[in-house]
Structure 1
Amino acid sequence: MAHPEQSSGQGKRVGLLGRGSERALLDRMIAAVRTGESHALVVHGAPGVGKSALLEYAETAAAGIRVLRAAGVESERELAFATLHQLCVPLLDRLTDLPAPQRDALETVFGMQAGTPPERFLVGLAVLSLLSDTSEGRPLLCMVDDAQWMDRASAQVLGFVARRLLAESVAFLFGTRRPGPELHGLPELEVTGLGDADAHALLNSVTHARLDQHIRDRIVAETKGNPLALLELPRGLTVTQMAGGFGLLHADTDTLPGRIEQSFLTRIENLPEQTRLLLLIASAEPTGDPGLVWRAAGQLGVTPATALAKGTDGLLSFDVRVIFRHPLVRSAVYRSATEENRRAAHLALAEVTDPQVDPDRRAWHLASAATAPDEAVAAELERSADRAQARGGPAAAAAFLQRSLALTGDTSRRSERALAAADASFRAGDLDAARELAGIASRDARSEFQRVRAQLVSSHVTLAAGFNDEAPPRLLTAAQRLEPFDTQLARETYLVAWAAATFAAADADSLMEISRAIRKLPPPEDGPRTLDLVLEGYALLVTDGRSAAAPTLRRVTAALADYPAQDLLKWGWAACGVSCAVWDDRAMCETYARAVEVVRTAGALTELPIYLASLGIATCLTGAFSAASAIVAESETVAAATGMPIVQHTRLLLTAMQGKEAEASTLIADTIEWAGTHGQLNGVTCAHWAAAVLCNGLARHEEALVAAQASTRIAQVFVSVWVLPELVESAVRIGRDAVAHRAMEDLADAAEPYDTDWAQGILARCRALLSDGTTADDLYREAVERLGRTRLRPELARAHLLYGEWLRREGDRVEARDQLRRAYEIFVSIGMGAFAERARRELLTTGEALRKRKSEASSSDELTPQEKQIALLVRDGLSNPEVGARLFLSPRTVEWHLRKIFTKLGIGSRKQLRDSLTRTEQATVPE
């Protein structure tokens, strides 16, 4: 196929014209890949502008580099991982070198084995590893042309991989008309028309007529220098038409692509009928298999002798694959055919497509050939959807099911198929389609159960659109209506409704209504399972208080320790908060760490940020700030990969506890504005909590009181309790004793039923603030003793601080210095700068000379969050492939980061890295 900038036979042949800056950019990219760098570039522009020519130039320039090619095909957009399979076929013999989970993921999506549908990000990691391993021996150039027609699953995976490349000898080039959302954020090169001189040279190469200069100028201007237009529009025109210019400039269509396509249509119309039919069959067959095209042609009586007797005017060629002159030729051929001929072509292709080897394409052809509802074809499409779902292609499954629904004439089947299509569309992230299909399912439902399930899908769509106050009541109604039909599904829906209400920080009445409905559920016939205990405990927490809920919630805490991974993935995000409710810091840390590991291993990145937020807060509470920073980095990596906005709960609390006033204040204000606008009041609550912590650390207690009161005004089961100690402390410090006592009563209600060192230590510390004399002294000592047995080092340090401040005011300077010194040392070692400064100033008033100290964690302060995350994981003994799997990086990228880490820390080995990082910097929470 000729380059768009090249002559296709008329006039003098020219090479690739112009494009000096574009070629220089590609040359630099290829040179960098040879030296071990990774690059990605999205080349985009109008049809015919020369994108494919530039990709072919890059391939020519990449001598000695292995090139993998793939192209999106419009008719294959519904086949999951079709483009990815094209690209990876030459590398399938290397799958055995991948870690088992990654190998299984690729073999499943490529249909090489049956298995559980893998998360697409696990597929992405597998492709990243495959390309990285391949590039070890020889640099790699991956080119995807017509990327606008990639199937969604391939686009998501390849966009993810292109973003994760860094230190591999791999380059990605995408050619597309316009970058889709999956490629947003990658470097772009917009290709426009040729400059005037080059455009005139190209026009001269394909015209024999001596054209008036004004006509030439007008042609170049009207085509905007589009190479394909300059090559194709003059074809077939007479000397008179060329000389006048009217044949070029007065096509029936207004847009330039339309004009180019019209020129192709004119050429197509001049071909014999048998040739046109051959082109139609080829345009409807996406794989480009010559044997398949000719067998289908034979079904319609078309033979090579008759179809190719006069050639194809350069529009179609047969080689290893069937190749069209340009994608616009394919679309022009297909669209210009009659409906009858199109259906005949698809039917012929279906008849020659092996139902065992390629059942999905056969089903798609049958669907395109159907003239009316056809139950047999609809059922075949359902089976194709099942296969797509099994390969982890929810978008493809949704497309098959939507087409199946369109061909369903049996009204008794429509609702079920609409439900299946709605669910698949929801899982694929197409919320608008899911909502519309759920409406169809409800409208065509023949039973109450179908209507309820349709409402359930609609409710999940509302929840997925954002944790706001619309979802909980919808989910509650769905759960209530499900009870007579499926008690297990009803209970799961109740749990999601309850959790959604707490995440959205919905009004107290909504949470109470959900909890009362849960309490009315009949007891399980086979005895309570973990899900039932979670429901019962959560409901009691709201309806009867924490004392009534305590026994049930304690049982749940033990059960969650070894809860099945599949259930954690299903609704663990809603259940893991039990350990927080019972004030069990060890269970909290271990439960969230396990949940994150399960979700991370499964590659479920869309759910991972929820689990990371919980683990991040738990990690902050332990004082492992470097680990919390690593969690922030991972959350942001995941958000960038998935395109999902997140409330930065961990960063909020972390910066507040560190006392980074400017950064924390900006983040708090931005979060309150964004979360409030989006109805995510849990984010608002967390932001006010962080503000209270920050201001208490800075000894700005009036501001801390305002923030703490704002946080407790929102109905949130966990955070509005955790902020109560901030409220007590700030109120006492500014003499608002009545406010402090009311907050103390609320804290006692929440913590007294739980005999844990966390709960009782916090209670003792806050009660000491409201006490005098021996009582206060005993309570402070109890707080120090109890919190010293927890993992919560910041809370212990604050107990020492408050005890020291009280002792100083009581005149016991010696004991005050001891307590304040302990507080200061812990604050410094953790990195709680504002609280450390507060303790230092207090120490100075006792007469102790004390210089400011840097945090012991400062040895790694110059590392970026991602570098610190990698350093901590390596320090904890993970290999480069294990770190890469955790962070969605290739092992070579991990090694590249490690070299930078070693340089920054002035070390040369992993052993020195372990010695360099302090023991407080843990990649997991403390033991």
Structure 2
Amino acid sequence: MAAALAATLNARQLSGAEPLPSEPADWDPGLLREHRQRVRGLPDDTRYLLMLAAADQHPVPTHAFLRAVTAAGLDTGVLEPAEAAGIAHTATTGVVFRDPWTRIAAYETAPAENRREAHQLLARVLGGDWETPQRAWHRAAAALGPSRRLTAALTAGAAEARRGGRPAIARPLLQRAAELCPDPGARPGLLAQAAADAWRSGQSDRARHLITGARDGLLRGILALRGGDATDAFAELLRAADALAPAHPDRAVHVLARAAEAAIYTGDLRRVRQAAAVAARHGLEPPGTISGLAVAVEGRYDDARDALRTALGRCATGEDPTLLIHGGLAALLLGDDDQAASATVRAVAAARAQGNAVAVPQALEFRMYAEFWTGRPHAAEAAALDALQQSHETGQDNGACHLQAGLAMFAAITGDEATCRARAEAARAHALPRSLGLAAALSVWALAFLDLTTGRPEAAAARLRALAGFGPGHGHRAIRHLATPHYVEAAVRTGDTRVALAALADYEHWATVVRSPSDLALAARCRALLATGPDADEHYRTALGLHATSPRDFERARTELLYGSALRRLRRRAEARDRLHSALEAFTYFGAPHCAAQARAELRALGEPAPHGRTPPGIIRTLTAQQLAIARMAADGATNREIAASLVLSPRTIDHHLRGVFARLGIRSRIELVRLLATVTDPFV
């Protein structure tokens, strides 16, 4: 059976890149042949009860089987042959089928008149006020032809199910309503509603199938946003908002929020101005993220700040998952990481309470950023992995792409180079053909951070410099902005700061306007890297003071590492040691081995002893602490340039130190250095 199932899957389903078919019958009708034969071999009474149980369970679970059995005076003892054959067994809740294929076979092999009779029986016993949707379903399932009355009952039942957070039940009711509707002109609208409920319940393939028979630009735009070309999605959503605005202004505002999401995904934030123009033309007040981003693109940062603060206050207080996500976005842009975490957590909870399966991974995408910035890297990675699985399950490939890029960044931080490169390449391969500039830019940032923390500042600077020139669909202004502190660090190490200075000026301007302690701290750190002497010391102290009021502990540790290195070069050894130990402790907590290795290298250069205080024997004692640190790295295979990047020195200085090491040890090559140091226990950790 497993081999037969596998043979029905395509390559992307086999690899896990696409979800499996959502319904057993969608796999292959041939797989049901054996199940039908086994069911037909049972006694008629047994088959009738199995069919009644199957009708009670799918596609609308009604939990009325036992009531129906009692009302009709049926004997459940006739199910024993099914139990003996391993087809199904009884439980306190009713009948449990061996697998979905058996349930389908039990229903399909029964005569049509028996199926109608079973649905009528189930409808009669569903008398509770809360059972209106289920009762409407069974009445409609027993219908022989079109019925205006049943269509109305199904539509009302679907609305009730939707209000109760059960879109998965609303979908089959509306689909059946479209089949029974005597008015051909009303059927596309019913199919569009059914498609929307299928989408909200995570049945993306069914939604795409249903939308082909409906005229609904909104859902087509959302489907494109989550699984197609983001540029096409924006155009479709903007047209839908324009059409909805005269008669349904509230829905139009919601659609404009989706259009803004599409613009954010593409990285072409100028498109947000188009959304703002549509809102203005119809006298609508869109989410503040739209107006905030629209004026930010024009460089009007004061106006952008005010609009985003308004958006945060308005969007982060309701129960609409989409608006809560926008509130989280506004908070992230304002540098308010705690508010961003709160809004996205509430968005996840609201989506789950409303049965909105597709909104859950959407909220988790942006919760990923908030959790990371607020010092919870492990929670951030867990949220991203959870969301990645849910994105695939609900057919949201573009969301999965964004999450892949985020996971590439986590892999860069944790030093998993192979995983970082694999995830970044996978994200870019999906992002570029679909104009997903956000995911593409985040992937580049992840690779650049990996280069920066593994001693390749030239590569890091080149990636981040190129990112500044990437247009929409290939890059993203917000990611360039977030990556500016790392770009400045890489540029300082390579000695080419011209472009980085311009990026820093814009970053500093925004940080000053929004008064974000986190961003101001990083701006001060950048100024410290670009300064010398007392000025650098003052900027570092300013940065650490601001970090003390910010939740971004990882960046605080990066600042302490850089400050500790600067203090070591100024021979302020005690201060340097304190800063470096603090950084090392934080990097250990974050699970960031490359950053921890940089801190350890700096401590070795200070002559920091091992826990047991061992000292190098013999001739090794003639080396200074810095010479021994350089010798160790050279023996481990690091090039002069890599050692220089690690210790924040010039390659020429490293060459000078190595010549001194060779002279003191009486050797002529790195090979001899490796052999000599292999006989000595490393006294520094």
Instruction: Please report the TM-score for the alignment, with normalisation by the length of structure 1.
Output: 0.52
CA shift in 2, pair 1:781/1:414, >3 Å? same
Residues 164 and 354 in structure 2, CA contact (< 8 A), matched pair in contact too: no
Give, as a single letter, the amino acid of the residue that structure 1 aligns with 2:425: A
Match of 2:297 in 1: 542
- Match runs of 1:81-92 below 5 Å: 81-82=61-62, 86=65
- What amino acid does structure 2 have at the position aligned with 1:756? S
State which drifts further: 699-708 or 795-804.
699-708
Between Structure 1 and Structure 2, how many residues are aligned? 549
Whole-angstrom distance in 1 between the partners of 2:287 and 2:362 = 22
- Tell me, yes or no, if the aligned pair for 1:659 and 1:834 is still in contact at 8 Å: yes
Work out whether 1:281 is the aligned partner of 2:110: no
Q: Cα distance, 1:393 vs. partner?
A: 5.2
Distance 2:230 2:240 in 1: 17
Aligned counterpart in structure 2 of residue 47 of structure 1, from 11, 30, 34: 34
In structure 2, relative to structure 1, the CA distance for the partners of 1:850 and 1:768 (3 Å cut) is farther
| Matching of residue 513 in structure 1 with residue 274 in structure 2 | yes
Question: Is the 2:560–2:579 Cα contact (8 Å) retained in structure 1?
Answer: yes
Q: Which residue in the other structure is 1:174 paired with?
A: 98
Q: Which moved more, 1:592-601 or 1:490-499?
A: 592-601
What is the match of residue 372 of structure 2? 620
Q: Could you tell me which amino acid in structure 1 is paired with residue 98 of structure 2?
A: F
1:786 to 540, 546, 550: 546
The Cα of 1:629 is off from its aligned counterpart by: 4.3
Q: 1:852 to 1:491 in 2, by over 3 A?
A: farther
* Match runs of 1:157-168 below 5 Å: none
Q: 1:724 to 1:72 in 2, by over 3 A?
A: farther
Matched, 1:670 2:426: yes
Q: In the alignment, what sits opposite 1:246? A: none
Instruction: Give yes or no for the alignment of 1:579 onto 2:331.
Output: yes
CA distance in 1: counterparts of 2:499 and 2:295, whole angstroms = 27
- Indicate the residue corresponding to 1:492 in structure 2: 254
Identify the match of residue 177 of structure 2 among 383, 400, 404.
404
Structure 2: distance between partners of 1:743 and 1:591: 29
SS of 2:455's equivalent in the other structure is: coil
Q: 2:239 aligns with which of 471, 477, 494?
A: 477
The aligned runs of 1:20-169 (5 Å cut-off) are 46-47=33-34, 79-82=59-62, 86=65
1:910 match: none
1:408: how far off?
4.0
Give how far 1:611 is off: 2.1
Following superposition, the deviation at residue 407 of structure 1 comes to 4.5
> Which of 439, 453, 466 is residue 697 of structure 1 equivalent to?
453
Which whole-Å CA distance do the structure 1 matches of 2:546 and 2:491 have between them?
Answer: 24
Please say if 1:375 is aligned against 2:355: no
2:478 maps to which residue? 718
Compared with structure 1, are the counterparts of its residues 603 and 399 closer, same or farther at alpha carbon in structure 2 (3 Å cutoff)?
Answer: closer
CA–CA separation in structure 2 for the residues paired with 1:776 and 1:716: 31
**Partner residue of 1:360?**
136
CA deviation profile, 1:273-332 (whole Å, cap 9, x unmatched)? xxxxx9663254335x8xx6xxxxxxxxxxxxxxxxxxxxxxxxxxxxxxxxxxxxxxxx
Cα separation, partners in 2 of 1:459 and 1:739, compared to 1, 3 Å: same
2-structure distance, mates of 1:479, 1:175: 44
The answer to whether the 8 Å contact 1:419/1:441 transfers is yes
Is 1:760 the equivalent of 2:520?
yes
Counterpart contact for 1:705–1:730, Cα < 8 Å: yes
Task: Output the CA distance in 2 between the equivalents of 1:439 and 1:641.
Answer: 21
> 1:495: Cα distance to partner?
1.3
Q: Distance in 2 between matches of 1:837 and 1:353?
A: 70
> In the alignment, what sits opposite 2:344?
592
Higher relative contact order (CA 8 A, sep 6+): 1
Q: Deviations over 1:490-513 (max 9, x none)?
A: 2221111112221x2243553443
| Secondary structure in structure 1 of the residue aligned to 2:98 | strand
Alignment match, 1:533: 288
Show structure 1 runs of 5+ residues with no match.
1-41, 57-68, 91-140, 148-157, 159-170, 181-256, 265-277, 293-348, 443-453, 525-530, 854-927
Q: Which residue of 1 aligns with 2:361?
A: 609
* Of 575, 579, 588, the match for 1:819: 579
Q: Matched residue of 1:576: which SS?
A: helix
Could you tell me which amino acid in structure 2 is paired with residue 496 of structure 1?
R
Cα 1:51–1:845 shift into 2, 3 Å: farther
Report 1:184-263 matches (<5 A).
none
1:619-639: CA deviation from partner (whole Å, max 9, x where unpaired): 222333333344345435645
Q: Alpha carbons of 1:387 and 1:590: their partners in 2 closer, same or farther (altered >3 Å)?
A: closer
Contact 2:528–2:539, Cα closer than 8 Å, also in 1? yes
Give the CA deviation at 1:559: 4.6
Over residues 626-684 of structure 1, what are the superposed CA-to-partner deviations in whole Å (9 max), with x where a residue is unaligned?
A: 33344345435645765765233553332222223233233323333344455543222
Cα distance in 1 for residues equivalent to 2:138 and 2:598: 73
CA contact (8 A) 2:328 2:339 kept: no
Checking the alignment, whether the CA contact within 8 Å between 1:747 and 1:763 is kept in structure 2 is: yes
| CA distance in structure 1 between the partners assigned to 2:587 and 2:68 by the alignment | 56
- Name the SS of the counterpart of 1:522 in structure 2: coil
TM-score by length of 2: 0.68
1:423 to 193, 196, 218: 196
| Residue type of the alignment partner of 2:383 | I
Matched to 1:659, the amino acid is G
Q: Does 1:553 align with 2:330?
A: no
2:199/2:358 contact within 8 Å kept = no
- Uncovered stretches (5+) of structure 2, i.e. residues with no partner: 1-26, 44-48, 70-82, 614-685
Q: Do 1:800 and 1:823's aligned partners in 2 also have CA atoms closer than 8 Å?
A: yes
Q: Which moved more, 1:698-707 or 1:635-644?
A: 635-644
The answer on whether the counterparts of 1:580 and 1:718 sit within 8 Å (CA) in structure 2 is no
Give the Cα separation in 2 of the matches to 1:87 and 1:639. 37
Alignment of 1:336-351 (within 5 A): none
- Structure 1 residues 699 and 511: CA distance shift in structure 2, 3 A: farther
Q: Percent identity?
A: 25
SS at structure 2 position matched to 1:286: helix
* 1-structure distance, mates of 2:86, 2:189: 38
Report if aligned partners of 1:468, 1:681 keep a CA contact under 8 Å in 2: no
CA displacement at 1:176 relative to structure 2: 4.9
What SS is found at the alignment partner of 1:469? Answer: helix
CA 1:432–1:353: 2 relative to 1, 3 Å: same
Tell which structure's C-alpha radius of gyration is larger: 1
Deviation of 1:762 after TM superposition, in Å, equals: 1.0
> Which moves more between the two structures, 603-612 or 278-287?
278-287
Distance in 2, matches of 1:683 and 1:540, equals 23
Tell me, what secondary structure is at the counterpart of 1:485? coil
Distance 1:557 1:377 in 2: 44
Bigger helix share: 2
Q: Distance in 1 between matches of 2:312 and 2:612?
A: 42
RMSD: 4.5
User: Shift of residue 353 of structure 1?
Assistant: 9.7
* 1:50 to 1:745, Cα distance in 2 relative to 1, 3 A: same
Residue of structure 2 aligned with 1:846, choices 562, 586, 606:
606
In 2, Cα distance between equivalents of 1:829 and 1:77: 49
Quote the Cα distance in structure 2 between the aligned partners of 1:825 and 1:476: 50
